[in-house]
Structure 1
Amino acid sequence: MMSVDLQDVSVQLNQKISSIKRFMQLKNMCSDPSLTKILQKIGLELSGIRDTLDIFQMQILQQQTELRSLQDLRKAVQKNSETAHHLLENIPAHLPKKAAQTNTADPKDARVQEGPANPEPEKNSARSKHFVREMEYLLMEEFNQVPGYMKGRMTYDQVNAVIKELNATVKAKYKILNQPMKSMSNTTRNQYHAFKEQETKETKGQYFFVEADIKDFTHLKVDKKFHVILNILRHCHRLREVRGSRLVRYVLI
């Protein structure tokens, strides 16, 4: 153990002696005119190295700032991706068709505006004759503005599902009304005359349905919930009522 300790002490003493010799050599170089220029050149090189290190440090700081920005951007993109994925999995069954509003003008007005510039008035007139207007689906914003006491537990999707059935009812009804009499069966002819008897001056040129039409053309139940939805549609200006002869006509607006 003693020899090992003396050996360690010897190594340490030799290292210190080597360091002292190196310091003395460097000190002597300062007094040697032939080595002064070399020391100055080394000093300039060290100064250049420090400047380069400063540039590297600035670039590192800049890259750190850019890295933080990219990390924030990554978080924002990830959040938007999750939102888009959620929207994709929760697409409403019935999308609103606000843009189609311009196509719901009265067919007679359309023919008047076209005038003589229309090269085939007879064909367009035939198409207008079979035009059937549809009720626009509710927007979520409209549904949210309906008072709570009016919609109760009714959901947005339930209301638009009923609108889909009402549009099918109107389409089926007016398909019969636009059908040539010669091609009608006895049952269809009876329906045609029943539909004509429902019309009044207020419904002339309008599209409407009655509760009997709902029962004939859909599987909807004309119950309390159904009338709640009709109230919502009246509130949202999708239809209005025309009463007379003990019959309620629901006219599309």
Structure 2
Amino acid sequence: MCITKEMTYFLLEGKNHRRTINTRTEMASVDLQDVSTQLNNKISSIKRSMQLKNMCNDPSLTNILQKIGLELSSIRGILDIFQMQIQQQQTELRSLQELKNAVQRNSEKAHHLLENIPTHLPKKAAETSTVPAKDLKVQEVTAHPEPEKNSAKNKHFVREIEYLLMEEFNQVPGYMKGRMTYDQINAVIKEINATVKAKYKILNQPMKSMSNTTRNQYHAFKEQETKETKGQYFFVEADIKDFSHLKVDKKFHVILNILRHCHRLREVRGSHHVRYLLL
């Protein structure tokens, strides 16, 4: 049998047509299945709703639902309280963190101050004994009969140079202090105070208790005095050499110039000496 081109085309068209019909049938079945599933879900939902509606008509079930509703409201209230407490604790946590940072900063500052305590500050005072209240009257009675001793101590009071404050140091012109530091200046003040104290200890000492060397020093100190130094406390460069470890050099004179600028000293010249009066 001879198959022509027209017959071949007809057979191919038939196969393609059947394939198209099969594809459409499969798609239609898939769509129907989805629709069926959706309808079944809706029917199930309607059945549950009907069941719940029927439960509402049952008094015993209604009481149960009301209890459940009350419990849910209570749970919701507890959750709100928990949420408020969580927010409060978060706020407190932030405050504690800020406090911790502040304490840490203060601790670092205190540590820095501890490591950089100026050398001129006084040391820790000796511990004082506590006296019971019943013994205070006895002390008051025994304290009054000694005015002569107290007055004797006041006579031996020696003026000291006040230590320089940081504000004063910062106000000193740069050309005047150069590379001089705050601690260096106050260290010199400490040595000067010790020198003046040693000098006037000799001047206040009774002549009878003096050795020959001390008596010679006494007369030398008296020769340094003038009308301008009467009633004043002063020192000269020789006193610094005798009673301190300082070197009377250019650096020392720079510090003296700073002390004059800060109104701690005043110069009185004459009779081969430069006297530095304590203000």
Aligned-residue identity in percent: 86
In structure 1, the partner of 2:233 is 207
Give how far 1:180 is off.
1.9
The list of structure 1 runs, each at least 4 consecutive aligned residues, that deviate by more than 3 angstroms after superposition, is 20-28, 30-34, 118-122
Deviation string 1:215-249 (CA, Å, 9 cap, x unpaired) is: 11122111110000001111111111111223210
- Of stretches 212-221 and 33-42 in structure 1, the one that deviates more from structure 2 is 33-42
Report whether the alignment pairs 1:169 with 2:169.
Answer: no
1:243 aligns with 2:269: yes
TM-score (norm 1): 0.77
SS state at 1:241 partner:
strand
Equivalent of 1:52 in 59, 78, 82:
78
- Residues 2-57 of structure 1: CA distance to partner in whole angstroms, max 9, x if unpaired? xxxxxxxxxxxxxx99xx59947545423434422222222222122212211221
**What is the alpha-carbon distance in structure 1 between the residues aligned to residue 145 and residue 266 of structure 2?**
37
2: CA distance between counterparts of 1:122 and 1:52?
81
CA shift for structure 1 position 126: 2.3
Alignment of 1:173-188 (within 5 A): 173-188=199-214
Partner of 1:234: 260
Q: Does 1:157 align with 2:173?
A: no
Amino acid at match of 2:201: K
1:147 aligns with 2:195: no
Of 218-227 and 49-58, more deviation after overlay is shown by 49-58
1:105-134 Cα distance to aligned partner (Å, 9 max, x none)? xxxxxxxxxxxxx86553334223322222
Residue identity in the other structure for 1:190: N
Ranges in structure 1 where 5+ consecutive residues have no aligned partner: 1-15, 97-117
Distance in 1 (CA, whole Å) between partners of 2:147 and 2:52 is 109
Aligned equivalents of 1:78, 1:200: Cα separation in 2: 58
Question: What is the distance in 2 between the residues matched to 1:33 and 1:169?
Answer: 107
Quick check: 1:62 aligned with 2:100?
A: no
Q: Distance in 2 between matches of 1:226 and 1:181?
A: 33
What residue in structure 1 maps to residue 65 of structure 2? 39
How many residue pairs match? The answer is 216
Give TM-score, length-normalised by structure 2: 0.70
SS of the residue corresponding to residue 143 of structure 1 reads helix
d(CA) in 1 for partners of 2:183, 2:177: 12
C-alpha distance in 2 between matches for 1:36 and 1:126:
104
Match of 1:90 in 2: 116
Give the secondary structure class of the aligned counterpart of 2:268. Answer: strand
**1:190 maps to which residue?**
216
Consecutive unaligned residues in structure 2, runs of 5 or more: 1-39, 123-143
